[in-house]
Amino acid sequence: MEHSFPLANGLTLKIATRPDGRDGYATARLQKGFRLLDGDQDLVEEAVGFGIPLLKRGLQTIFPGSVELTARRTDSGWEVSTLYVLDLVERVARPGAASVRPGIIYGIKNYLAAAIRAVPPLRAPLTAASSGLRRLFGWQTRYEDAGFRTSLRLVHRIDPQGGSVRVRLDPGGLAALGVTEVIVMNELGAHFFDRYEDSSGLRLAGKQIGCWDAVAAGRAAFVSSARRIAFSLGQVEGARLFRGRELVGERLAWAGFGHSFPPDRPEFGYELRLERRP
Could you tell me what percent of the chain has a pLDDT over 90? 70
Q: What pLDDT, on the 0 to 100 scale, is given for residue 38?
A: 98
Please determine, for residue 275, whether its predicted confidence score (pLDDT) is greater than 70.
Answer: yes
- Mean pLDDT computed over 143-162: 96
- Lowest mean pLDDT segment, chosen from 25-29, 98-102, 192-196, 259-263: 98-102
Query: What mean pLDDT comes out for the span 229-247?
Result: 97
Nearest Cα to Cα of residue 134 among 111, 109, 114, 117? 109
pLDDT at residue 24, as a whole number: 75
Give the separation between CA 213 and CA 231, rounded to whole angstroms.
17
For the ranges 29-33, 39-43, 124-128, 164-168, the lowest mean pLDDT is seen at: 124-128
Instruction: Select, from the ranges 13-22, 37-46, 127-136, 247-256, the one with the highest average predicted confidence (pLDDT).
Output: 37-46
CA 199 – CA 70 distance, rounded (Å): 35
Q: What is the CATH number of domain 2-93+145-276?
A: 2.70.98
Q: Does residue 149 surpass a pLDDT of 50?
A: yes
CA–CA distances in Å: residue 182 to residues 124, 169, 264: 27, 11, 10
> Mean pLDDT across the stretch 198-207?
97
**68-88 pLDDT, tens per residue?**
999 999 999 999 999 999 999
Q: Read off the pLDDT of each residue in 111-129 and give the average, rounded to a whole number.
A: 60
pLDDT level of residue 56 (50, 70, 90 thresholds) = very high
By the 8 A CB rule, do 198 and 219 touch? yes
Averaged pLDDT for residues 237-245: 97
Note the pLDDT of residue 185: 98
% residues pLDDT > 70 (the chain)? 81
pLDDT digits (tens, 9 = 90+) for 220-233: 999 999 999 999 99
Cα dist from 68 to 17, 25, 154, 215, whole Å: 6, 23, 11, 32
Which of 163, 157, 160, 168 is closest to 72 using CA atoms?
157
**pLDDT for position 102:** 46
How many C-beta atoms lie closer than 10 Å to residue 220's C-beta? 22
Please state, in angstroms and rounded to a whole number, the distance separating the CA atoms of residues 55 and 210: 22
Q: What is the mean pLDDT of residues 178-207?
A: 98
Return the pLDDT at 128: 56
To the nearest whole number, what is the mean pLDDT of the chain?
Answer: 88
DSSP string covering 202-221: -EEEGGGG-SSEE--SSEEE
Pairing label, strands 195-198, 60-73: unpaired
Q: Give the model's pLDDT for residue 1.
A: 84
Distances (CA, A) of 272 to 80, 82, 253: 14, 16, 21
Map out the domains of the chain as residue ranges: 2-93+145-276
Taking only the tens place, the pLDDT of each residue in 125-137 is: 655 555 555 554 4
Q: Tell me if 73 sits within 8 A of 117, measured CB to CB.
A: no
User: Minimum mean pLDDT among 5-9, 95-99, 138-142, 146-150: which range?
Assistant: 95-99
Q: Could you give the CA distance from residue 173 to residue 157 in angstroms, rounded to a whole number?
A: 24
- Per-residue pLDDT at 8 exceeds 80: yes
At 72 the pLDDT is: 97
